[in-house]
């Protein structure tokens, strides 16, 4: 193959290990490859809404988009993290030979607590939690999140008796303690331990190459497990386990569905000869559904999940779609905008230097005038989305910065002339006009729109709030105490939030989607 195969992967230690395993097999066959680690969806431009593409998995979404955009050729995933329905245009091209499928118990001192009435076990998996409580109903199960190293450190620093990990993950990173115990009684997640490679359906050359490293037995077994999961309509919100394996020309399948607290359990086991196994997933799923599974799935779907994230700006359906399964987000506009009438005298003649710091100001200008009436020689703005909007509807932007302060500093050093016209809100930060005036630049402020603070009291269950401007922080404080985490769109917003919140986090890119990514990282 003449081209270099670009292997997309998440940038975690485990994900990179898995991508390198794929890279090694491809290079052994003589193919040139390069790893492309990806982290944030914030900078990725979407040509279509995510719902049209069918992109759902929080752990796979970034790579799916990158592949559809042509930035990578293939994507490497833990198959258990991949949604059962792939996005349009993407197919499963291969799976490597499966690793250890089991869940593993790591404990602090010894295993004596297994026989005790009271013990504390940590896991972030609903499936593991439910099966543990079904077997040890008097034990306490606490939440455990983060990457493998983070979870291991949390176990070390805690007073828990133990924690449950995927054997494949800790094994691949060579972090498995000698005394760790495989939980052979616990049915693993569908496709646990399997590494999957996705590619574009139309890329026949790459598909042919990946077929050479596909492990057929693993493909057969994981497909059955995922078909079972899909038939039950389950995902991360339902405690579902599935395991298929082949031995002596026979395929054995075990499946389980539980209530979240482990008090209810429906289990199935079936053995079929290889070659006669094609209906085994559907048969086992129907067996579960007919014996109370339908009712149990309905209870799981209807169980109340409290709101844990609140956005101070109304989110679109596409944006809501970006949150991972552990998050229930609500939103409303804490700041309402009213566009002002701008007198024609302000734009009658060509203006040499114009400053615009928000999309609201652009909307106000276009609400009053046609683009041809806006004869601006040099336009300076804040934010790439504001820039995109100006250039699409008004004219070329000479320079843009991430925030008003940086823009003011740039204007002091590089702007031609000694006067600017600033289209702003009635509520605005003083940084830009103050810096300019201190440097003998005249600022003509034109109030293009008004900002009204309109907050509501948010639920007690909220653990984090998303902020998009200093005004949203100010509005929030009118009705609420500062508690939990402040997820902020940029440094200026974070500066205001830090006056009230102890834990303030800043998105990598000043977009709503990047703030959502920041929230997802906290709950991963």
Q: Which residues are known catalytic residues?
A: 81
- Distance, in Å, from the CA atom of 191 to the CA atom of 397, rounded to the nearest integer, reads 50
Name the residue among 324, 331, 238, 329 with its Cα closest to residue 522: 324
Distance CA 61, CA 45 (A): 13
Considering only CA atoms, which of 338, 365, 346, 367 is closest in space to residue 450?
338
Measured N-to-C along each axis, helices 216-232 and 280-288 cross at an angle, to the nearest 10 degrees, of 30
Alpha-carbon distance of 510 to 389, in angstroms, equals: 15
Count of H-run helices and E-run strands, the chain: 18, 24
Q: Which residues contact 370 (CB under 8 A, 6 or more apart)?
A: none
* Region of residue 325 (left: phi > 0; alpha: psi -120 to 50; beta: else): alpha
User: Can you read off the two tokens belonging to residue 211?
Assistant: 């077929």
Rounded Cα distance between 413 and 433, Å, is: 15
* Spatial CA neighbour of 18 closest among 183, 171, 205, 207: 171
Q: Which long-range contacts (CB under 8 A, 24 or more apart) does 58-65 make?
A: 58/323, 58/324, 58/325, 58/520, 58/524, 59/10, 59/524, 60/198, 61/322, 62/10, 62/38, 63/8, 63/9, 63/10, 63/38, 63/198, 64/90, 64/198, 65/41
Burial class (CB in 10 A: 0-12, 13-18, 19+), 260: middle
**What is the enclosing helix (H) or strand (E) of 25?**
helix 13-28
Count the neighbouring beta carbons within 10 Å of the beta carbon of residue 431. 18
Pair 113, 107: CB distance under 8 Å: yes
d(CA 274, CA 285): 19
The answer to whether 54 and 88 have CB atoms below 8 angstroms apart is yes
Question: In sequence order, which residues have a C-beta less than 8 Å from that of residue 486 and are 6 or more positions away?
Answer: 464, 465, 467, 473, 494, 497, 498, 500, 501, 503, 504, 505
* Token duo for residue 291: 């014996």
3-state SS, one letter per residue, for 158-192: CCCCEEEEEHHHHHHCCCCCCCCEECCCCCCCCCC
Tokens of 288: 């579960």
């Amino acid at each position: 193959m003449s081209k270099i195969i670009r292997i997309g992967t998440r940038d975690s230690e485990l994900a990179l290990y898995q991508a390198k395993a794929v890279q090694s097999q491809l290079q052994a066959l003589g193919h040139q490859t390069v790893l492309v680690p990806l982290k944030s969806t914030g900078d990725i431009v979407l040509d279509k809404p995510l719902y049209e593409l069918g992109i759902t998995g929080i752990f796979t979404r970034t790579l799916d988009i990158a592949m559809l955009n042509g930035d990578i050729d293939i994507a490497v995933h833990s198959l258990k993290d991949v949604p059962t329905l792939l996005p349009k245009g993407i197919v499963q091209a291969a799976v490597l030979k499966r690793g250890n499928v089991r869940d593993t118990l790591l404990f602090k001192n010894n295993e004596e607590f297994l026989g005790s009435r009271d013990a504390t076990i940590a896991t972030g998996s609903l499936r593991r939690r439910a099966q543990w409580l079904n077997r040890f109903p008097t034990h306490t199960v606490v939440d455990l999140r983060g990457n493998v190293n983070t979870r291991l450190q949390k176990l070390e620093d805690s007073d828990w008796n133990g924690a449950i990990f995927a054997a494949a993950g800790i094994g691949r990173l060579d972090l498995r303690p000698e005394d760790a115990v495989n939980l052979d009684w616990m049915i693993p997640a569908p496709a646990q331990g399997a590494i999957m490679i996705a590619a574009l359906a139309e890329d026949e050359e790459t598909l042919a190459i990946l077929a050479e490293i596909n492990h057929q037995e693993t493909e057969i077994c994981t497909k059955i497990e995922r078909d079972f999961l899909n038939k039950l309509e389950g995902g991360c919100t339902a405690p579902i386990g599935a395991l298929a394996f082949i031995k002596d020309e026979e395929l054995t399948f075990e499946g389980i569905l539980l209530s979240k607290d482990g008090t209810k359990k429906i289990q199935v086991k079936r053995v079929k000869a290889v070659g006669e196994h094609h209906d085994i997933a559907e048969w086992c799923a129907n067996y579960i559904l007919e014996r109370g599974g339908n009712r149990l799935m309905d209870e799981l779907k209807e169980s109340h999940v409290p709101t844990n994230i609140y956005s101070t700006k109304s989110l679109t359906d596409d944006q809501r779609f970006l949150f991972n399964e552990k998050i229930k987000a609500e939103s409303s506009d804490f700041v309402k905008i009213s566009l002002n009438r701008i007198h024609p005298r302000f734009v009658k003649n060509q203006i040499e230097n114009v400053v615009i710091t928000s999309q609201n100001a652009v909307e106000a200008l276009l609400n009053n005038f046609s683009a041809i009436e806006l004869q601006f020689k040099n336009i300076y703005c804040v934010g790439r989305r504001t820039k995109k909007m100006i250039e699409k509807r008004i004219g070329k932007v000479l320079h843009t910065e991430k925030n008003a302060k940086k823009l003011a500093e740039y204007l002091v050093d590089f702007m031609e002339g000694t006067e600017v016209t600033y289209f702003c809100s009635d509520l605005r930060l003083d940084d830009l006009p103050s810096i300019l005036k201190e440097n003998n630049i005249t600022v003509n402020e034109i109030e293009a729109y008004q900002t009204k603070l309109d907050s509501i009291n948010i639920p007690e269950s909220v653990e984090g709030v998303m902020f998009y401007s200093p005004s949203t922080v100010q509005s929030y404080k009118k009705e609420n105490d500062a508690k939990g985490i402040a997820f902020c769109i940029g440094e200026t917003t974070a500066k205001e939030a830090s006056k009230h919140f102890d834990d303030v986090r800043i998105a990598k890119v000043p977009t709503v989607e990047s703030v959502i990514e920041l929230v997802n990282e906290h709950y991963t």
